Amino acid sequence: MHEEWFQSMADDEDMPSATEITPIKSFIDGEISAAEAARRCTCRIAAEPLPNLEFLWSLCESMAIELPSTQGKIVELLAAIKKIPDPVRNGQPCRINGEKVFSQLGYFGAGFADGWSGLRDLSRAPDQPLGPEKWARINAFAARLTTRFVIDWRHRNVETIDDALDKKYLQDARTRDFFLPAAASQIIYGALPLWNLGNDPGAEPRLSPYRDWVAWRKKLGELADSGDLAEDIKALLRQAVEVMDATAQGPESSSWLV
């Protein structure tokens, strides 16, 4: 399936050139390492007078949403890009919007935030049948990014869970079905960072959870047993509750890095 997708990206004038697309595909296919893919897909950008990563970041975000099975690989690739030396201009590391090009993934956060807001708005668009699925996928991606320290999106992660458990959204079947799978995805792929809210990324896991954890667990458990939800949503909620319980049983032995 992803063969056709990559070809469509190569044919799209608004996507990166083959210089970026080819090594990423080779990495996804297991032909080269993340470090090698990172080096190859950034070499042209690093040589530009004013490095522009917008198309590369767009490609990564599109992959995360349209090819969700590649999310783990994309996160691994972005972590490798952060280790690439930043291009230097006039004796100083080059920056985009104040962020270093590679080590701080210049402009990635801003572009991701734009995509996040656009997909969240689909909750008000009943004519978008893939809205809930796309929103769940981008939330899973955000949780994976946070878990690997690629970018700290915990405030967005909490926002998604709070949306899902907000009474005004739970009372409307359409918004409820939109927000709940995304909240479950945040927990399934990012439970430990959520447990550790208030701690710096990478700190020793807390022995007791962030203050909202217990309330989240209680409400999600109730919803998982509710007769009002579709079975696939209840299955996701049960999976999220199981991950929360496993995290609570031994946070000190859990690794906040997967």
pLDDT one-digit tens code per residue, 3-20: 888 888 877 777 667 788
| The pLDDT of residue 251 is above 70 | no
Instruction: For residue 139, tell me if it sits in a domain.
Output: yes
- Do the domain assignments include residue 95? yes
> Is the same domain home to 86 and 144?
no
Mean pLDDT, range 14-27, rounded to an integer: 84
pLDDT in tens, 120-160: 776 766 566 667 888 999 999 999 999 888 888 888 899 99
In a domain, 184, yes or no: yes
Of the listed ranges 133-137, 157-161, 186-190, 253-257, the one predicted with least confidence:
253-257
Q: What is the DSSP letter of 205?
A: P
Is 28 part of a structural domain of the chain? yes
Whether residues 79 and 169 fall in one domain: no
The answer to the question of residue 189 being in a domain is: yes
Domain-located, residue 164: yes
Question: Is the CB of residue 16 less than 8 Å from the CB of residue 23?
Answer: no
231 band by pLDDT with thresholds 50, 70 and 90? very high
* 139 and 200 belong to one structural domain: yes
- Above pLDDT 90, what percent of the chain? 48
* Residues 81 and 159 placed together within one structural domain of the fold: no
Residues 58, 140: one domain?
A: no
Is 36 part of any domain?
yes
Query: For the residues of 46-89, what is the DSSP string, one character each?
Result: HHSSS---HHHHHHHHHHHHH-GGGHHHHHHHHHHHTTSPPPEE
Q: According to the model, what pLDDT value does residue 79 have?
A: 95
Q: Which residue shows structure tokens 């608004």? A: 14
Q: Are residues 141 and 189 in the same domain?
A: yes
Confirm whether 112 is domain-assigned: no
- Does the pLDDT value for residue 174 go beyond 80? yes
pTM: predicted TM-score of the whole model, two decimal places: 0.90
Q: What is the pLDDT of residue 111?
A: 80
Tokens (6 digits) for 252: 């000190």
pLDDT of residue 134: 87
Give the per-residue pLDDT at 37.
Answer: 97
Residue type at position 70: T
C-alpha to C-alpha distance for 179 and 132, rounded to whole angstroms: 7
Average pLDDT over residues 19-45: 94
pLDDT value of residue 97: 82
Number of domains the chain is built from: 2
Domain with 226, as residue range(s), is: 134-253
Residue-level pLDDT at 258: 42
Task: Please indicate, yes or no, whether residues 66 and 143 belong to a single structural domain of this protein.
Answer: no
